[in-house]
């Protein structure tokens, strides 16, 4: 019985279709201005990829900040539970999950059964999130891949002292004008994200295997800096961005099983 998980984030929307634990389709699209449209589009693409029709899906769980914008979902579950569930399914040794998404970041602690036992989320602003990284990349006139590539080349780190995304952007513009090498500025941006993430991780305490999920996990320089700062190896799944949707799909399978008794 196929089921689906939909993760509607602020920057991207993901859909995973599962059947008996096997992934039939995984789709990532930009959310854009209308999360409802993005959810519909991602779902349609996933259905096409899996060769299924909407009616074939027996249970759908929506997650992410836009979970309320998915009228086709049977249930809504937070991204906290979904990322925890998704990460645990990929590695049952995972006890800590760092998820840095488009507009929020969180650290989740799991027990030996994969159940969430604690979590912390970033404060209200976008500092330390994917959006922060995007804005800084824009100020530096480079893409995220180039940022990741440039960071290891830096000999020094320029300190980015502003926590606010808007102020940090101005600071980066000033640093460029002052002639600081771009790689040093990139390193400074990464350090700023890492410091915020590490303090959150320390609040819940890091145990067991640490997995990083969410779009920012694709940035190798940030993962490396986090590893160095935390002093622990970080596991990054093949496609970290769909872990929330995968968790939602797994929970949908469980929900369906319960429903069918």
- Minimum CB separation of residue 80 from another protein in Å reads 4
Q: Is 105 in the site for another protein (CB under 8 A)?
A: no
With beta carbons less than 8 A apart as the criterion, state whether 105 and 98 touch: yes
Q: Is 134 in the site for another protein (CB under 8 A)?
A: no
Among 91, 118, 143, 257, binds another protein (CB under 8 A): 118
138: which 2 tokens? 């824009």
- Here the contacts of 48-54 (C-beta below 8 Å, separation 24 or greater) are 49/17, 49/24, 49/25, 50/2, 50/17, 50/24, 50/25, 52/2, 52/17, 52/24
With beta carbons less than 8 A apart as the criterion, state whether 154 and 184 touch: yes
Residue whose CB is less far from another protein, 138 or 203 = 203
Cα–Cα nearest to 237, from 23, 17, 12: 23
Which of the ranges 22-30, 40-48, 110-118, 181-189 carries the binding residues for another protein, by CB under 8 A? Answer: 110-118
Q: Is 113 in the site for another protein (CB under 8 A)?
A: no
Q: Is 88 in the site for another protein (CB under 8 A)?
A: no
- Minimum CB separation of residue 83 from another protein in Å reads 10
Q: Is 117 in the site for another protein (CB under 8 A)?
A: yes
Among 32, 51, 112, 123, binds another protein (CB under 8 A): 123
Give the DSSP letter of residue 51: T
Size of the site for another protein (CB under 8 A): 18
Length of the chain measured in residues: 261
Q: Is 80 in the site for another protein (CB under 8 A)?
A: yes
Binding site residues, another protein, CB under 8 A: 65, 76-81, 104, 115-121, 123-124, 203
């Amino acid at each position: 019985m196929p089921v689906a998980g939909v993760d509607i984030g602020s920057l991207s929307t993901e859909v995973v279709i599962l059947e008996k634990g096997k992934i039939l389709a995984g789709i990532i699209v930009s959310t854009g201005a209308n999360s409802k449209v993005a959810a519909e589009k991602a779902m349609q693409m996933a259905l096409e990829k899996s060769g299924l029709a909407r009616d074939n899906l027996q249970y759908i769980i929506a997650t992410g900040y836009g979970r309320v914008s998915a009228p086709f979902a049977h249930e809504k579950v937070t991204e906290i539970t979904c990322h925890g569930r998704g990460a645990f399914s990929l590695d049952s040794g995972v006890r800590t999950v760092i998820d840095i998404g488009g507009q929020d970041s969180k650290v989740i602690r799991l027990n030996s059964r994969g159940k969430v036992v604690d979590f912390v989320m970033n404060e209200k602003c976008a500092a330390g999130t994917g959006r922060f990284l995007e804005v800084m990349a824009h100020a530096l006139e480079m893409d995220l891949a180039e940022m990741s590539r440039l960071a290891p080349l830096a000999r020094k780190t320029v300190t980015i002292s502003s926590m606010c995304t808007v102020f940090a952007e101005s600071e980066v513009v000033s640093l460029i004008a002052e002639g600081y090498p771009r790689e040093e500025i990139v390193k400074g941006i990464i350090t700023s994200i890492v410091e915020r993430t590490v303090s959150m991780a320390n609040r819940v305490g890091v145990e067991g295997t640490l997995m990083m999920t969410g779009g920012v996990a694709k940035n190798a320089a940030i993962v490396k800096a986090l590893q160095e700062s935390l002093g622990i190896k970080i596991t990054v799944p093949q496609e970290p961005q769909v872990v929330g949707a995968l968790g939602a799909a797994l929970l949908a399978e469980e929900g369906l099983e319960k429903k069918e008794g």
